[in-house]
Structure 1
Amino acid sequence: MAKQPTVISTWPEKPDDRFKTILESQDITVLSMPVIEIHTSFFELKQNINDYQWIIFTSKNGVRFFLKKYRPSPANQIAVIGRGTASALLEAGYEPDFTGSGHSGEKFSEELQSVSGTGKNILLVLGNLAPDLLTKSLSANNQVERVNVYETKQPENFDESILNRIKSDDYDLIAVSSPSGIKNLCHLVSDKLKASLRVVSIGETTTSAALKLGIKVKATAKDQSYEGLAKTVLGMLNRTG
């Protein structure tokens, strides 16, 4: 491992990166090597927005891209997965009526239906690569419309100097925040190196994707947010924060 704690983040850079801020406050170097790009998708709702009893957001990107085109009405109740998604909604001026734990789509479905009941008209806001697990789980007892509001793609170029640090084992941890992120990371390294990657995951869904690709995740954040991921990294590096 590197003598100076070095963590590599793999999501697109952003000005309000709590993960980076928290770690750098503890004298940990954070290197950014985005392995995904986020782009808006063309989308239209099949119904009037007032007709949805619940709108569900599963990510900050979902909130951001949806609100560029549509605005929730007083007729809608809003549910989110995880505190990070809730934070993005609050910053846009909307307060969620329900915030799920974010441990998994199936768990969220159980949590929401214990509050909302069944037989609801639900709008599920996702990205193009999000699996259908939540859609299927909610559809058993509700009418669910899925809308993809953004696309996740692999960048054409990567920071070769950071990639070389991974290949030469010159880092402490790699932080991943989505199944697409871990998938694209795997495309950049050999199968032999893949098995030795020191990965820390933002949540159970990302960890599950990593395991399916043959990557043994070192730790999974209990709180599915960038702040929760940062605290998990601090624990792995024996920093109190």
Structure 2
Amino acid sequence: MAKQPTVISTWPEKPDDRFKTILESQDITVLSMPLIEIDTSFFELKQNINDYQWIIFTSKNGVRSFLKKYKPSPVNQIAVIGAGTASALLEEGYEPDFTGSGYSGEKFAEELQSVLGIGKNILLVLGSLAPDLLTKSLNDNNQVERVNVYETKQPENINERILSRIKNDDYDLIAVSSPSGIKNLYHLVSDRLKVPLRVVSIGETTTSAALKPGIEVKATAKNQSYEGLAKTVLEVLNRTG
């Protein structure tokens, strides 16, 4: 009998984990080893929230952190990247006016430029480690304010049993969902590996972060969501038939 594949997830555990549900339905073992913790940052808007024509969210964490302090008004239009960010917004009782494809940050920037038009006052809600791609892309024709509403850090306690499995090459794939997750993974295991890491990434930004220190990325999800990441894992493991 063939050995049941093992995939290691690296984000904080959550009750409704579509990634885990999809893979376990295909008889794949999912081990959780969170490599990031989310801290809500102290932040203040420079303007009244009614002064922004658009509010842009790029992650679930951004949605949840922002809405703890500020509530969009009827004059705000809201754009989000991908179905995952849209679902987080809907859970809070708000419906996005535009949902980007979620393929990559670059693609989202292109889509936004055609949707937003010019001369708009835009609030860009991000995590502290997010690149300035959207800010630079939209700033030419609009007034863009970036606000960092959360930061990611490495947890104080890491599951040593799962970490040992990575060091001993006792797994099939590691699923990563953020540049900070990649950074923390590399810091923990880079000098103790028997063979190169086998990583599957949620999107192009995370993949770029992995490639910088020389981590091989087996595949990048076409749809930037946990469900898209799960489907990519199935493809890599040849479980799509």
Partner of 1:39: 39
Cα deviation for residue 203 of structure 1 reads 0.5
Does 2:222 correspond to 1:236? no
Partner of 2:189: 189
Partner of 1:56: 56
Contact 1:200 1:217 in 2 (8 A): yes
Cα deviation for residue 232 of structure 1 reads 0.6
Contact 2:120 2:142 in 1 (8 A): yes
Amino acid at match of 1:65: S
Partner of 2:164: 164
CA distance in structure 1 between the aligned counterparts of 2:175 and 2:70, rounded to whole angstroms? 32
Partner of 1:118: 118
Contact 1:194 1:215 in 2 (8 A): no
Amino acid at match of 1:127: G
Structure 1 residues 103 and 144, CA, compared in 2 at 3 Å: closer, same or farther? same
Amino acid at match of 1:157: N
Say which SS state the counterpart of residue 193 (structure 1) adopts: coil
CA distance in structure 1 between the aligned counterparts of 2:68 and 2:239, rounded to whole angstroms? 39
Moved more, 2-11 or 214-223: 2-11
Cα deviation for residue 178 of structure 1 reads 0.4
CA distance in structure 2 between the aligned counterparts of 1:193 and 1:182, rounded to whole angstroms? 15
Cα deviation for residue 103 of structure 1 reads 2.8
CA distance in structure 2 between the aligned counterparts of 1:192 and 1:157, rounded to whole angstroms? 19
Contact 1:219 1:232 in 2 (8 A): yes
Cα deviation for residue 104 of structure 1 reads 2.9
Instruction: Report Cα offsets for 1:108-148 as digits up to 9, x if no partner.
Output: 12211212201110000011111111111111211011111
Partner of 1:109: 109
Partner of 1:209: 209
Runs of 4+ deviating beyond 3 Å = none
Contact 1:194 1:214 in 2 (8 A): no
Amino acid at match of 1:13: E
Any stretches of 5+ residues in structure 2 without a counterpart? none
CA distance in structure 1 between the aligned counterparts of 2:195 and 2:185, rounded to whole angstroms? 12
Contact 2:104 2:224 in 1 (8 A): no
CA distance in structure 2 between the aligned counterparts of 1:236 and 1:28, rounded to whole angstroms? 12
Aligned residues: 240
Moved more, 37-46 or 183-192: 183-192
CA distance in structure 1 between the aligned counterparts of 2:194 and 2:34, rounded to whole angstroms? 17
Partner of 1:75: 75
Moved more, 174-183 or 130-139: 130-139
Contact 2:9 2:175 in 1 (8 A): yes
CA distance in structure 2 between the aligned counterparts of 1:103 and 1:120, rounded to whole angstroms? 24
Contact 1:195 1:216 in 2 (8 A): no
CA distance in structure 2 between the aligned counterparts of 1:208 and 1:30, rounded to whole angstroms? 24
Contact 2:168 2:193 in 1 (8 A): no
Say which SS state the counterpart of residue 175 (structure 1) adopts: strand
What's the RMSD between the two structures over aligned residues? 1.5
Q: TM-score normalised to the size of structure 2?
A: 0.96
